[in-house]
Structure 1
Amino acid sequence: MPFFSSSKRTFLDSHESADIIAAIKQAERRTSGEIRVYIESKCRYVSAIDRASEIFDVLKMERTDNHNAVLIYLAVKDRQVAIFGDHGIHQKTGDAFWEKEVAHMLEHFKQEHYATGLCKAINDVGEALHYHFPYDNETDKNELPDDIIFGK
């Protein structure tokens, strides 16, 4: 069963995009961690996690002070999804956490609830970041933009 609809519906409308950006901002209020969302049409690789890793590097997300940035990656036409966390957060959560979050997103995507699935994943990742890297009012800053990145 495909998790992205084959209908001609725009993947995200402006309200859904705004909801996702708001979810990123909300999640980051409680952590020094950073969350970004990257959406493109096709994945250049067989493995979405390899592509997410490449984009993570291109976006220079490894430059966060605590190595606690997370990229949520989607290739819409190729129906691929991955979540890639820098080594600081990955050492704390492990592969099982990311795999569980991807599975939860896919359940929403199967019902064409894309923004809901993304917002839920952002919230869950934000909770993990908060737990392992709580916000410090004196030292924390927003190190990466909160916008959604749309590739080709």
Structure 2
Amino acid sequence: MEKYKKILIFVVTCIAIGYLSGTVTRASVVTWFPTLIKPSFNPPAWVFAPVWSTLYIMMGIAAGLVWNRIDFEREAVRKALLFFVIQLVLNALWSILFFGLKNPLLALIEIVLLWLMIYETYVKFIKIDKIAGYLFIPYLLWVSFAMVLNASIWWLNK
């Protein structure tokens, strides 16, 4: 399969996962989330959609680039893509825990696992394709920020 088709498949998959996890957040963003005490560094609501859209596109490109190396590094690519899928599932799960179940503590525990899986995916990706690894750095940084934000919201509202 052509490289650009592989990239497109993963970009569409990532955006679809983002859209589905966004459906979980919609009601709570309007009803429950505004009632929470938030730290001073909480970004305005309009920031999240463009940031996550960009990150999902970058994640999809990265995964497509790694998948494109399957004929040369079959086992490494399979393992890297397994980690990718796990972190993508954890990414969607966070929205369910935080916004769906309205449980910042459980979401905080889960986001630590998500961060570790993102980091491991980054480590595996960069060994296979440098650009794929570099594309994961903004995601890792944003989830680092989200983890601090999640912890702060839990702490302020416990």
| TM-score, structure 2 as length reference | 0.31
Larger Rg: 2
Structure that is richer in helix per residue: 2
**Larger relative contact order, structure 1 or 2 (CA cutoff 8 Å, min sep 6):** 1
